[in-house]
Structure 1
């Protein structure tokens, strides 16, 4: 099946504005089927979940469809899919729940490569429990976080390891399976931030060895909220704070308050939209794997084209160097602030923002301080013309 980026772009109303979007790591544009699904949910009868009134039945159906769709996306079980306001909120909630079991002298491992949402919740929970925080360091020269770097800081007192599935700053994709094997050999749990990864590659919770994974549908065409995936049996062993009359069933015990049904409907539509980018055969999980393979081929080709053009410009330094990575480039410029490049590109209809993007530890470890760099994040709807405009715009910036 040919990847038809022109047909894909036609499904995104916002692309008609003419902006070349390289801000996908912060959130993608929204396709028409997702917008329709949200509208349909809100215009149909809708009420608290139940089995009698039409609104109750619709709400129950939407929740079930959401859990099945995200389970297919992440290679998980529907009963292990938890809705949250954001991946950050879900990680904080999980950290507080797990930390109730930790004792002084227990250990938690976090990595310098991660978004702060997969660092600070664990660090703060460890501090409150009297646990020790250990850091897994990535190589700033290569951007790699080898499994040995994580294994080196594991001890029999390690209770949890938090690591990214893909760096939102420089794109590095660590070998999660190898890390999981080392973590489990030490008797600890593994929490994976798959927010950036799930936008670019097929995620398989069971095959990866992760005990918990979080993602955010708005990074792959869906509404703004977060999702946590885990084995339902593992979730059964955890008891978060909750209201007395609210359900104690899994996964509902982790979901506080009434769910935003329209957002769940939009997420189901986003997963189906993604699945439609594949070869169209097999069940939804198979179609998603095919779609991600096609997306990776498309995005990799664009990334390589962008790199050739960008690195031919005088004064450009690229910090995304790992052997396996997403199509995400972090750039800095000789004697010119990255924020200046961001503003210059904006006047030419090219959106590539500059910051550390909450990957504060990674930015500092790269020697970029808190300011980071210009992030060029490719998405499935980017095309060759977008890349040409980016390279030309940065060329003009460097000559100005």
Structure 2
């Protein structure tokens, strides 16, 4: 364990880690890529909002004024987390719903014969909204392929994929399947040369390392609060100049200014309160004079801790002959996410064994990275088994998994 990372203090911030089941065995949460546990500051802020009076916006009374302030507070918190402007931040049901909503607003930018670029590596939430957009506008969709050996995007023919016809390029920063972190800058540089819009899926990135909207210089970024210790809530960040001109479908009396025009209907105010608490938790792990600095520092502490865990699990999985690990090489940046298969064992059978015998929360399937499940035809055996770390995971928990995997293989052979 890293010397400076306060693992016991961190774990104490997560009530779910303190609850044991009927067998008095505490669950071990290795399902972070699917959604992390909720931190106490998030819960506290949600309860505070709910129990001290709820109201809708723009009233003259105190609870309405409190809700107005809450929404502004949340936008400023996200702005510091992602290094964007508060007026560029909109919240919604989830990342997928926001992506479909935004895709409809982009229809005026495409026409018959235009091209959209997506990737084989991505979660379908950053693929299907743009495929639907292409169907509605007559555009064509092209995929940046994955290198099956290296498990990174194959960008060798990128200059042939991105052409004068390209109008939109959507890339995920990090794969929720392999953990591969993609350097989107050179791809977006090519896209900008031909005037294409650039879209980032940062859902799997934000929980693991500091993401900088200005540095990415993309037009649109999506992420999800429940992946970084918060509530089920989606976040869209849209560059101001683009956001202001987007023709968003909304009710006639609803605000037309950004970012409110994208936030159709009454928002989930208690979840937005929880978002503030989740960001505060990350901030509490860091140091610095400004919140942005504390958030960067906090994410660096999380990343360092998770990399210690990574080294212990990755080496172990590579040494098991029955295990096929789908992970890029050491020189490729990756999140602490491991997808693998076990020879002769259906993935659902494996995760059921881990859950029932060891109370390990480990997922199986394609995790909505279903294009990858076509590139690597794995679904006949249940897809992949996936372990993903969060800052509350420990070396001791990895040892429990090691024993569980050895027991499973020994039992089946």
Residue 304 (structure 2) aligns with:
297
CA distance in 1, matches of 2:157, 2:94: 29
Match of 2:402 among 391, 397, 400: 391
CA distance in 1, matches of 2:215, 2:162: 22
Residue 350 (structure 1) aligns with:
360
* Unmatched tracts of structure 1, length 5 or more: none
Residue 224 (structure 1) aligns with:
232
Residue 361 (structure 1) aligns with:
371
Residue 13 (structure 2) aligns with:
11
Q: How does 1:364-379 map to 2 (within 5 A)?
A: 364-369=374-379, 371-379=382-390
Deviations 1:158-193 (A, max 9, x none): 110111010011111110122221111121011111
User: Following TM superposition, by how much is the alpha carbon of 1:151 offset from its aligned partner in structure 2, in angstroms?
Assistant: 3.9
Q: How does 1:1-400 map to 2 (within 5 A)?
A: 2-16=4-18, 17=20, 18-50=26-58, 52-148=60-156, 150-278=158-286, 280-322=287-329, 323-347=332-356, 348-369=358-379, 371-400=382-411
Contact 1:137–1:149 (Cα < 8 Å) also in 2: no
Contact 1:107–1:160 (Cα < 8 Å) also in 2: yes
Distance change in 2, residues 1:106/1:172 (3 Å): same
CA distance in 2, matches of 1:211, 1:362: 26
Contact 1:20–1:350 (Cα < 8 Å) also in 2: yes
Distance change in 2, residues 1:48/1:187 (3 Å): same
User: Following TM superposition, by how much is the alpha carbon of 1:375 offset from its aligned partner in structure 2, in angstroms?
Assistant: 0.3
Deviations 1:324-370 (A, max 9, x none): 11000001011111111111100111111111000000222133247
User: Following TM superposition, by how much is the alpha carbon of 1:272 offset from its aligned partner in structure 2, in angstroms?
Assistant: 0.8
Mean alpha-carbon deviation: is it higher for 150-159 or for 221-230? Answer: 150-159
Distance change in 2, residues 1:149/1:263 (3 Å): farther
CA distance in 2, matches of 1:175, 1:168: 15
- Provide the secondary structure at the position in 1 that maps to 2:187: helix
Mean alpha-carbon deviation: is it higher for 56-65 or for 331-340? Answer: 331-340
User: Following TM superposition, by how much is the alpha carbon of 1:146 offset from its aligned partner in structure 2, in angstroms?
Assistant: 4.8
- Provide the secondary structure at the position in 1 that maps to 2:339: strand
User: Following TM superposition, by how much is the alpha carbon of 1:115 offset from its aligned partner in structure 2, in angstroms?
Assistant: 0.4
Contact 1:192–1:212 (Cα < 8 Å) also in 2: yes
* Unmatched tracts of structure 2, length 5 or more: 21-25
User: Following TM superposition, by how much is the alpha carbon of 1:234 offset from its aligned partner in structure 2, in angstroms?
Assistant: 1.5
- Provide the secondary structure at the position in 1 that maps to 2:338: strand
Q: TM-score, normalised by structure 1?
A: 0.97
CA distance in 2, matches of 1:231, 1:189: 11
Distance change in 2, residues 1:249/1:120 (3 Å): same
CA distance in 2, matches of 1:272, 1:172: 27
User: Following TM superposition, by how much is the alpha carbon of 1:260 offset from its aligned partner in structure 2, in angstroms?
Assistant: 1.4
CA distance in 2, matches of 1:285, 1:198: 14
User: Following TM superposition, by how much is the alpha carbon of 1:211 offset from its aligned partner in structure 2, in angstroms?
Assistant: 1.0
- Provide the secondary structure at the position in 1 that maps to 2:4: coil
Contact 1:46–1:54 (Cα < 8 Å) also in 2: no
- Provide the secondary structure at the position in 2 that maps to 1:198: coil
Contact 1:146–1:175 (Cα < 8 Å) also in 2: no
CA distance in 2, matches of 1:263, 1:119: 26
Contact 1:176–1:210 (Cα < 8 Å) also in 2: no
CA distance in 1, matches of 2:193, 2:379: 35
CA distance in 1, matches of 2:76, 2:61: 23
User: Following TM superposition, by how much is the alpha carbon of 1:100 offset from its aligned partner in structure 2, in angstroms?
Assistant: 3.2
* Number of residues of Structure 1 aligned to a counterpart in Structure 2: 399
CA distance in 2, matches of 1:341, 1:273: 34
CA RMSD of aligned residues (A): 1.3
Contact 1:106–1:159 (Cα < 8 Å) also in 2: yes
